[in-house]
Amino acid sequence: MSPGVTVHDTLARPLRDLRISVTDRCNFRCSYCMPRDIFGSSFVFLSRSDLLTFEEIARAARLFVANGVEKIRLTGGEPLIRRDLERLVEMLAAIDGLRDLTLTTNGSLLTPEKAQSLRAAGLQRITISLDSLDDAVFRAMNDANFPVAAVLEAIDAAATAGLAPVKIDMVVKRRINDDGVLDMARRFRDSGHIVRFIEYMDVGNTNGWRLDDVVSAREIVERIGREWPIEPAEPNYLGEVAERWRYLDGAGEIGVIGSVTRPFCGTCTRARLSAEGEFFTCLFAGRGFDLRGVLRSGTPDQEVLSAIANVWRLRADRYSEIRSEATRGTRKVEMYHIGG
């Protein structure tokens, strides 16, 4: 099947990115994503047979690429929990027309060997989440008592393996870790890595989100700019979610993702596939399209291709632009379910 016939939605946004969640499980319990009181020992996760197989994921991915997708990000849950992930990476890297293959992880399972084998399988880049350099704050935020030092080792392992530039994502929550913004910027200036500061979002319905807990992109930029002067840099491509800022002294760049205060729905080109094969056209959607049902019913490629195209053509999502008291109460898919 020839790649690259791009489908557009009702707002003329092309389908360009696909985020694939390979598991709904995670070894962390970040309070903003999988609060332990809800995702405790009695929580029922998907069973193995519910999950898309690697063959099903690779087939779906190939058909997304044939509809215009150029970039795939593997995510979760914690994607490195899924066994033999290298095998999936290898299958995806072989898809004709795919330009960028990357992964988001909490870094806890990213040993030097794992980083090398993911790179060898064809992974190009990696994003590692790290919310604080203060060990006590970080352990409290991941609620799994996981230390900062181990994530810093994972960052080094990724860079050594050539998964560069490594991006480091910090979700900023007021009064929880926002006093660590400057430390994070300082630590990774001149490192070749790119720190991205993310506004805390109202994803899902379980994290008890309040606007008051959000530190705006503007405030983050002001705080960092007061310490080290910065200037805006051009986006790398249409639909890039992070605003780029460059240090004037040449120490590299940072990114700021203002999902709440600076919504970017107008250029949102992202589709998401959950671990059990639901196709979502928005991070804040209540329901997705059952692609697994289509994949498991003997449907030929051409029809799966059309099914994907038809869902995207009908897409009108712009949740972040119309976020209000009214939308806040609506039922939304959880972040651990479809990834960031």
Q: What residues make contact with ligand SF4 under the rule CB under 6 A?
A: 26, 28-30, 33-34, 76-78, 106, 129, 264-265, 268, 270, 282-284, 317-320, 336
Over the window 117 to 146, marking each residue x when it contacts ligand SAM by CB under 6 A and - when it does not, the resulting string is ------------x-----------------
Q: Are strands 17-21 and 270-273 parallel, antiparallel or unpaired?
A: parallel
**CB of residue 3 vs ligand SAM: minimum separation in angstroms?**
27
> CA-based angle 215:197:209, to the nearest 5?
45
The Cα 88–Cα 221 span in angstroms is 38
Which residues 214-273 are close enough to bind ligand SAM by CB under 6 A? none
Q: Which does 203 bind (CB under 5 to 8 A by kind): ligand SAM, ligand SF4, none?
A: ligand SAM
DSSP for 267-292, please give it.
Answer: G--EEEE-TT-EEESSTT-S--EEHH
Q: Which part of the chain contacts ligand SAM (CB under 6 A), choosing from 54-62, 99-107, 246-254, 263-271?
A: 99-107
Identify which of residues 28 and 197 has a Cβ nearer to ligand SF4 in the complex: 28
DSSP secondary structure letter of residue 329: T
DSSP string, 215-283: PPHHHHHHHHHHHS-EEEE--SSTT--SEEEEETTSS-EEEEE-TTTS--GGG--EEEE-TT-EEESST
**Closer to ligand SAM at the Cβ: 67 or 104?**
104
Between 27 and 299, CB nearer to ligand SAM: 27
The binder of 23, among ligand SF4, ligand SAM, none, by C-beta within 5 to 8 A per type, is none
Length of the chain: 340
DSSP structure class, residue 133: S
Q: Which is nearer to ligand SAM, 154 or 309 (CB)?
A: 154
Contact set for ligand SAM, span 145-174 (CB under 6 A):
169, 171
Q: Pick the piece of the chain touching ligand SAM (CB under 6 A) from 49-57, 110-118, 274-282, 331-339.
A: 331-339
Closest CA to 284 of 310, 321, 257: 321
Binding at 284: pick from ligand SF4, ligand SAM, none (beta carbon under 5-8 Å per type): ligand SF4
Q: In sequence order, what are the residues at sequence separation of 6 or more whose Cβ sits closer than 8 angstroms to the Cβ of residue 30?
A: 131, 141, 142, 143, 171
Burial class (CB in 10 A: 0-12, 13-18, 19+), 80: buried
207 binds ligand SAM (CB under 6 A): yes
Closest distance to ligand SF4 from the beta carbon of 24 (Å): 9
As measured in angstroms, the least distance from the Cβ of 28 to ligand SF4 is 4
